[in-house]
């Protein structure tokens, strides 16, 4: 399938419902058997919609990928690094694409858009934390990210192994095109 050319734009409060849908569907598609059923079942559309509407209204950097015929197909949130001990000043907190559009280039366009926005906000580098069992790690490597750290976080009391990918400059280098 050819790479998509979605428009990347700042999210608006009206986008919160679609962002919540993509967030939940991505988690449910990616993490069964990796994260507990209780954690996945605890994610509600109303709760996530409120979370994302608040983040947007409070000025958090939230971007969406949008196709004219399909609407919002991906989302990303970013800002200052929450852990400066790794030496990165920016961080992508979330990056999710509607499972129906995986592998078609929307994630790469979102990441490039985030890096451009982080540069405008004075950042020079970026880190992304991902679950160690998430196949997104291969996407981050393809986009030029380097494995820089590992940790175990906790979600609803469960240990969750995570890996961090870092970019010392905000220039993703695609090693192969998304298909």
- Give the separation between CA 178 and CA 157, rounded to whole angstroms: 36
Is 66's pLDDT higher than 50?
A: yes
149 and 82 Cβ atoms separated by less than 8 Å? no
Q: Please report the pLDDT score of residue 3 as a whole number.
A: 66
What pTM value is reported for the model?
Answer: 0.90
Domain membership of residue 178 (yes or no) is: no
The rounded Cα 13 to chain-centroid distance in angstroms is: 18
Average pLDDT score, the chain? 90
Mean pLDDT along residues 44-64: 95
Q: Please report the pLDDT score of residue 125 as a whole number.
A: 97
Task: Check which CATH number belongs to the domain holding 119 and give it.
Answer: 3.40.630.30
Domain membership of residue 174 (yes or no) is: no
Domain membership of residue 175 (yes or no) is: no
**Among the listed residues 49, 66, 51, the one whose alpha carbon sits nearest the alpha carbon of residue 10:** 66
Q: Listing from the earlier edge strand, what are the strands of the sheet with 61-67?
A: 7-10, 61-67, 71-80, 90-97, 126-131, 158-167, 146-155
Domain membership of residue 1 (yes or no) is: no
Domain, as residue range, for 145: 7-167
Residue 119 banded pLDDT, cuts 50, 70, 90: very high
pLDDT digits (tens, 9 = 90+) for 24-42: 998 888 777 777 788 778 8
Domain membership of residue 62 (yes or no) is: yes
For the chain, the domain total comes to: 1
User: What share of the chain in percent tops pLDDT 70?
Assistant: 94
Domain membership of residue 172 (yes or no) is: no
Q: Please report the pLDDT score of residue 159 as a whole number.
A: 84
- Give the separation between CA 152 and CA 61, rounded to whole angstroms: 26
Domain membership of residue 173 (yes or no) is: no
């Amino acid at each position: 399938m050819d790479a998509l050319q979605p428009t990347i734009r700042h999210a608006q409060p009206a986008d919160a419902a679609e962002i919540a849908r993509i967030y939940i569907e991505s988690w449910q598609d990616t993490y069964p058997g990796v994260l507990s059923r209780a954690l996945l079942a605890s994610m509600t559309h109303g709760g996530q919609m409120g979370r994302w509407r608040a983040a947007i209204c409070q000025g958090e950097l939230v971007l969406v990928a949008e196709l004219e015929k399909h609407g919002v197909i991906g989302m990303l949130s970013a800002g200052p690094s929450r852990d400066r001990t790794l030496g990165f000043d920016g961080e992508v907190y979330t990056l999710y694409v509607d499972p129906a559009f995986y592998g078609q280039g929307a994630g790469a366009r979102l990441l490039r858009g985030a890096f451009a926005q982080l540069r405008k906000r004075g950042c020079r580098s970026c880190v992304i934390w991902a679950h160690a069992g998430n196949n997104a790690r291969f996407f981050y490597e393809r986009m030029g990210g380097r494995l820089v750290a590992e940790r175990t976080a906790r979600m609803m009391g469960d240990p969750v192994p995570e890996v961090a990918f870092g970019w010392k400059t905000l220039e993703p280098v695609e090693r192969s095109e998304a298909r």
